[in-house]
Chain A
Amino acid sequence: MTLALALEQLLNGLQLGVMLFLMAAGLTLIFGVMGLINLAHGSLYMVGAFACATVAAWTGSFWIGLVASLAAAAAAGAIVELVVIRRLYDRDHLDQVLATFALILMFSEGTRWLFGSFPLYLDIPPLLQGAVALPGGTEYPVYRLAIILAGAIVAFGLYLLISRTRLGMRIRAGESDREMIGALGVDIRTLYTVVFALGAALAGLAGAMVGALQSVQVGMGEPVLILAFVVIVIGGIGSIKGALLGALLVGVTDTMGRFLLPKLLALFVAPAQAGMIGGAAASMLIYIVMAVILAVKPRGLFPAAHA
């Protein structure tokens, strides 16, 4: 095991963490402000990826595709909020789970209807192709570094939006007392739609960026959605800071676990067995981390003040 390889895996973990943050930020924002659990968030991720792949294929430009993914996911989010989600705010979590589960079925099958069952492919834009040398002699794809950078910029932007703007002030007010900001004359219905569309756009952005690394296909959002749930449970539901730290923790733990555990076990048992046990153990690792954190802090690392 070389240091360079470990560094490469660490960067992969960071990249996964950044993607998870984009998903988790939207989920936790929606839960924090509206008290809604949204299973269909993974579908919005998928919408972003499909929009980016389709528009990029039409126009030949990844960047136009990226803009389209933001627009498409935000629009899909806004429509879903207006038609379905806003009927669910007063309902219990069970109804929310079921209704958004139904939305997943419709989104998945609807996308299959429109695009067929074959996966789409999205090329990495020319500007970000190639690799950079890492200390130690290996090379690392520029595109993955760009994703990490983009995630950092979005995280900082989100911080500015929430702590420095009027919209952010309303979002924070909504998190601490929903009725009160309505009474103070804020148009709360519009605020909800905006927050939902914002969360959707973040998910769409994540989907579009990952779309160039993997194939774009129906169901791509579900594994990410469940990891994002783990992230916000660890971080504390409703907390953006918790989502960021939780996402990085989950991303790095998952990637490094898959890389290190088989090697670690190989010191004790035969390599073939080490690969098998290590692989199985690594796939469970983040859930074990989650269980340990919850056993100590049932409300996550950074529990939101209310909720």
Chain B
Amino acid sequence: MILNRETLINLVLAALLLAVPFAADALGQPFYITLATRIAILALAATGLNLALGLGGLVSFGHAAFFGIGGYVAGILAAHAFSGEPLLFGLSGTKQMWVIWIVAAILSGLVGLAIGAISLRTSGVYFIMITLAFAQMVYYFAVSWPAYGGEDGLSILVRNQFPGVNTMRPLTFFLICYVVLLAALGLFALVRASRFGTALQAARQNEVRVATVGIQPYRIRLTGFAISAAVTGLAGALFADLNRFVSPSMLSWHMSGELIVLIILGGTGRLFGPLAGAALYVIFEYALGGLTERWQFFLGLILLVVVLFARGGLLGLLAGKAKHG
């Protein structure tokens, strides 16, 4: 394989994300490990969205719904495991991360299938607004349903477990998230190169042509949307475990907006766009938050400038235009 500039930058990004927590651990600065974990999880969530938005051109403004559903799966399963009360049909809760991940991904994927089935009948602005509205529906449901904390959210008393390791150690939990992120990036690369991924991208570029060669764009998009939802849901489960807390704010439309922002900051449709964007976003948030209480104002300003003048995001800036698109 010839090492082109983008691959090189991707490798550097992946290595940097791995190196920082080890350095922080050696220096006894666990806060930076948490920051890196946050970057990895947000990058994972945005990688999910990148499947729909970057490859399929589906501007979903409702991916917070899947992120939050994943989070609530982790919270609710852990709460039931803790209290010993059976959940549904006599099934008990669990504190095993891998079980939670599977449930989170499947449940978000199914909700994604339902939301996508209706939303994908429309396109353009309608699609943006409908995905937003469905996410709000889930949000209001979480707020008004008191069984799992309602507006106050739900705490996870002890972080869920993974066989053979101690997840309470920040570095260990980071490594788990990092491996999951790499797996998701691998999935993204596989999908992009597959026949299915080619059809998905083709449906973005020219819907009529795709239909003419005998592929139904609706089905392709729906499948892509559901996979995308599942990956973002998985990230939500990890995010809940990172904070040991899940609340309706994970479902809010600001979260949906942030996920889109991550992709745009990094570079739409690019493999490492979400990671570059998440790193940039978390660093901005942290650095600006240290400088001024009004960091959101400046974040908005930076974002505005990026949208108006620096299209292509960080990877566009560093690695030039995307080769395919």
Measured CB to CB, the nearest residue on chain B to A112 is: B294
Report A60 CB to chain B, min CB distance, Å: 32
Q: Collect the chain B residues with CB atoms within 8 Å of residue A287's CB.
A: 133-134, 136-137
Over the window 281-307 of chain A, the binary record of Cβ atoms lying under 8 Å from chain B Cβ atoms (1 yes, 0 no) is 001100110110011001110000000
Given contacts A97-B59, A109-B296, contact A226 B307 (CB under 8 A): no
CA distance A103 to B307 in the complex (A): 11
Residues of B38-73 at the interface with A, using a CB-CB cut-off of 8 Å, are: 53, 59, 61
Report A112 CB to chain B, min CB distance, Å: 8
Given contacts A226-B253, A295-B118, contact A105 B296 (CB under 8 A): yes
Among listed B1-9, B21-29, B122-130, B174-182, interface-contacting one:
B122-130
B59 touches A103 (CB 8 A): no
Residues of B97-147 at the interface with A, using a CB-CB cut-off of 8 Å, are: 118, 121-122, 124-126, 128-130, 132-134, 136-137, 140-141, 143-147
Measured CB to CB, the nearest residue on chain A to B309 is: A87
CA distance A299 to B127 in the complex (A): 10
CA distance A257 to B76 in the complex (A): 28
Residues of B265-297 at the interface with A, using a CB-CB cut-off of 8 Å, are: 268, 294, 296-297
- State whether the Cβ of B184 lies closer than 8 Å to any Cβ in chain A: no
B121 touches A283 (CB 8 A): no
- State whether the Cβ of B261 lies closer than 8 Å to any Cβ in chain A: yes
Report A28 CB to chain B, min CB distance, Å: 11
- State whether the Cβ of B19 lies closer than 8 Å to any Cβ in chain A: no
Among listed A154-162, A167-175, A208-216, A229-237, interface-contacting one:
A229-237
Interface size class of B (residues with CB under 8 A): 35 or more
- State whether the Cβ of A9 lies closer than 8 Å to any Cβ in chain B: no
A237 touches B126 (CB 8 A): yes
Q: Collect the chain A residues with CB atoms within 8 Å of residue B136's CB.
A: 226, 287
Q: Collect the chain A residues with CB atoms within 8 Å of residue B264's CB.
A: 94, 98
B118 touches A226 (CB 8 A): no
- State whether the Cβ of A259 lies closer than 8 Å to any Cβ in chain B: no
- State whether the Cβ of A104 lies closer than 8 Å to any Cβ in chain B: yes
A226 touches B132 (CB 8 A): yes
- Among A108, A226, A295, the most chain B Cβ lie within 10 Å of the Cβ of A226
Q: Collect the chain B residues with CB atoms within 8 Å of residue A290's CB.
A: 130, 133
- State whether the Cβ of B158 lies closer than 8 Å to any Cβ in chain A: no
| B304: contacting residue among A103, A229, A232, A279, CB under 8 A | A103
Given contacts A31-B125, A105-B296, A279-B144, contact A84 B308 (CB under 8 A): yes
Given contacts A113-B294, A229-B129, contact A102 B143 (CB under 8 A): no
Q: Collect the chain B residues with CB atoms within 8 Å of residue A230's CB.
A: 129, 133
- State whether the Cβ of B189 lies closer than 8 Å to any Cβ in chain A: no
Report A46 CB to chain B, min CB distance, Å: 15
Report A158 CB to chain B, min CB distance, Å: 21
B122 touches A276 (CB 8 A): no
- State whether the Cβ of A99 lies closer than 8 Å to any Cβ in chain B: yes
Over the window 96-123 of chain A, the binary record of Cβ atoms lying under 8 Å from chain B Cβ atoms (1 yes, 0 no) is 0111011111101110110000000000
| B253: contacting residue among A93, A222, A233, CB under 8 A | A222
B126 touches A280 (CB 8 A): no
A298 touches B253 (CB 8 A): no
- State whether the Cβ of B81 lies closer than 8 Å to any Cβ in chain A: no
A106 touches B125 (CB 8 A): no
A110 touches B130 (CB 8 A): no
- Among B125, B130, B143, B145, the most chain A Cβ lie within 10 Å of the Cβ of B125
| A84: contacting residue among B133, B257, B299, B304, CB under 8 A | B304
B129 touches A233 (CB 8 A): yes
- State whether the Cβ of B90 lies closer than 8 Å to any Cβ in chain A: no
B130 touches A109 (CB 8 A): no
Measured CB to CB, the nearest residue on chain B to A296 is: B121
- State whether the Cβ of B163 lies closer than 8 Å to any Cβ in chain A: no
Over the window 237-267 of chain B, the binary record of Cβ atoms lying under 8 Å from chain A Cβ atoms (1 yes, 0 no) is 0000000000000000100010011001000
A283 touches B144 (CB 8 A): yes
- State whether the Cβ of A197 lies closer than 8 Å to any Cβ in chain B: no
Over the window 55-99 of chain A, the binary record of Cβ atoms lying under 8 Å from chain B Cβ atoms (1 yes, 0 no) is 000000000000000000000000000001001000001110111
A-B contact pairs, 28 of them (CB 8 A): A37-B129, A87-B308, A93-B124, A93-B125, A95-B307, A98-B257, A98-B303, A99-B303, A99-B308, A101-B257, A101-B260, A101-B303, A102-B304, A103-B300, A106-B297, A108-B296, A109-B297, A112-B294, A229-B132, A230-B129, A233-B133, A284-B137, A284-B141, A287-B133, A287-B134, A287-B137, A290-B133, A291-B134
Closest 9 CB pairs of A and B: A105-B300, A287-B137, A109-B297, A106-B300, A102-B303, A283-B140, A102-B304, A109-B296, A102-B300
Q: Which residues of B contact A (CB under 8 A)?
A: 53, 59, 61, 118, 121-122, 124-126, 128-130, 132-134, 136-137, 140-141, 143-147, 253, 257, 260-261, 264, 268, 294, 296-297, 299-301, 303-304, 307-308, 311
Q: A37-B125, A109-B297, A298-B122 are in contact. List 14 more A-B contacts (CB 8 A).
A: A31-B125, A97-B128, A97-B257, A98-B307, A99-B303, A101-B257, A101-B303, A102-B301, A109-B296, A113-B294, A233-B129, A276-B147, A283-B140, A294-B126
Q: Which residues of A contact B (CB under 8 A)?
A: 31, 37, 84, 87, 93-95, 97-99, 101-106, 108-110, 112-113, 222, 226, 229-230, 232-233, 237, 276, 279-280, 283-284, 287-288, 290-291, 294-295, 298-300
